[in-house]
Amino acid sequence: MKNTDTAISNEVQFKSAVDELEELLREQLDLARKGSISEVEILAGKAHKLVERVSESKFFAEPQFEERHKGLEQLYGQICLALSAQMDDVSQALARIYKGKKTITSYRDNI
C-alpha cells in the first residue's frame, strides 16, 4: 500500500491515487458481498484517506476526471447496496434467533 498522507502535486500522483482508490473500493465490494464486514471497515479507513487526498487535489475538478468520478460513485453505490443486503441478512437472522428464544422460554415456563 502506498503512502496516503501526502498531498497530490501532479497529475501522475493524482491518477495513481485514483487507481489505488478504485482498487480499494473493488476490494471492499468483494468483501462486502462475501460478508466480511470487519475487513470492509478496515479498508474504508484507508479509502477515506485517499478520498480526502483526491478531493483536495486541484486535478479533481478537471473534465478528464469526470468519467473516473462517475465510476467511483458507482462503486460506492454498489458497496452501499452490498452492505444493505448484509444488514438485511443479519436482521432476519436476529429475528429468527429472538423467535426461537421466545419459543424456548415459553416451553420452559410451561413445563
pTM: 0.72
Per-residue pLDDT band for 77 (boundaries 50, 70, 90) equals: very high
CB count, 10 Å around CB of 75? 18
Q: What is the mean pLDDT of the chain?
A: 86
pLDDT digits (tens, 9 = 90+) for 19-46: 999 999 999 999 999 988 889 999 999 9
| Contact of 29 with 82, CB cutoff 8 Å | yes
| Contact of 78 with 27, CB cutoff 8 Å | no
CB count, 10 Å around CB of 69? 14
Which is nearest to 78 in space by CA: 23, 26, 19, 20?
26
Domain segments of the chain: what residues?
Answer: 11-85
Q: Number of helices and strands (H, E) in the chain? A: 3, 0
Per-residue pLDDT band for 1 (boundaries 50, 70, 90) equals: very low
